[in-house]
Structure 1
Amino acid sequence: MIFRKAESRDAESIGQVRVAAWRAAYQPFMPNEFLKTLNAANNLSELRARLANQNSDFTLSVAEECGQVVAFSIVGKPRYEAAPRTIELWAVNVLPEYWRRGIGTSLVERAIAFSSRSGFNSIELWCIKGNTPAQETYKKLGFIESGQERSSSRLTGITLHELHYAKVL
């Protein structure tokens, strides 16, 4: 398994991983109608542009096996109000056939190391309430549930409940 910084040429593969991971992991939380409408080609030009200009406000890493992107993580400027010198783990998505191999854990560990090297004091994330495998991984890696919760229906049309986790670096 090769872990590396994503490049513009990875955009389509990243879209495909996202769709496959969401459809498998989020069935209990999101309507099937919404999951069926996910399109790997959405926002590819924007993603390519962001991949060409990565910095501490947006960094995307991929896991690659035999030349195929099988997972990715995104770290960036917090999308919501956060303490100074805090960075957010926006996403960790792994193709379902690669689950339970430690790839997601490795990507989170790399996100933590990047954040620390970049001078941040803490890293935070939001996780769908009830996504037990993800919650267990984050706790195992030293993230602590802060007690903050949020709910939104903006993305899917149904209310999703998320829990906030943070880790001091």
Structure 2
Amino acid sequence: MTRYDVRPAEPADAEVLGAIHILIWQQAYAGLMPAEYLAGLSVPGSIERWHASLATTRPGRATYVGTADGAVVGFCTAGPTRDDPADPAHELWVLNVLAEHHGSGLATRLLEATFGAVGIDGTTPVSLWVLRGNERAAAFYRRLGFAPTEVTKAHPATGVLEERWVRS
């Protein structure tokens, strides 16, 4: 039986986070984003971004990792909204788990730990962005009380639409 744990991300996690971030995108967005875009994602570039992110403390932002038998298999970041206007004030920036760990409950545990670290409780309004057509993610967020709004934006590199969801 696999043992799942959740803990705050550390700078030493940047290498593995960079690698699994790319793999998760390739798994989750196959058929939703252009194959050539997904194939061209850079692990070294992702690692570099994770090094920078984990080396920088931002008030109100937290990143947690999920492990399976000690190996990092997912991550979650939440913090102040990056949207303009900043309503609601909190945003789930990212929640990703490797496909082989879907259905394990790890994503929910990651979300709860990350939200708890930034002061988001079950009544706090929070937003997130979901890639249009990502039905697995949409179903997960619906179960957590999120609903789509009319707001969309184009993913900068591909033009694929993202939909803004909010839990009020």
How many aligned residue pairs are there? 164
1:123 partnered with 2:95: no
State the distance in 2 between where 1:65 and 1:115 align.
24
Distance 1:117-1:78 versus aligned 2 partners, 3 A rule: closer
Aligned to 2:109: 106
State the distance in 1 between where 2:87 and 2:49 align.
27
State the distance in 2 between where 1:82 and 1:124 align.
12
SS at 2:21's partner residue? helix
1:78 partnered with 2:78: no
Report how far residue 104 of structure 1 moved: 1.5
Report how far residue 123 of structure 1 moved: 1.3
Deviations 1:88-146 (A, max 9, x none): 1111111122122121222223333334359x94211010111111111111111122x
Aligned to 1:150: 152
107-116 or 97-106, which deviates more: 107-116
Unmatched segments (≥5 aa) in structure 2? none
Q: What letter corresponds to residue 136 of structure 2 in structure 1? A: P
Q: What letter corresponds to residue 38 of structure 2 in structure 1? A: L
Unmatched segments (≥5 aa) in structure 1? none
State the distance in 2 between where 1:164 and 1:73 align.
17
Report how far residue 151 of structure 1 moved: 3.1
SS at 1:41's partner residue? helix
Report how far residue 153 of structure 1 moved: 4.6
TM-score (norm 2): 0.85
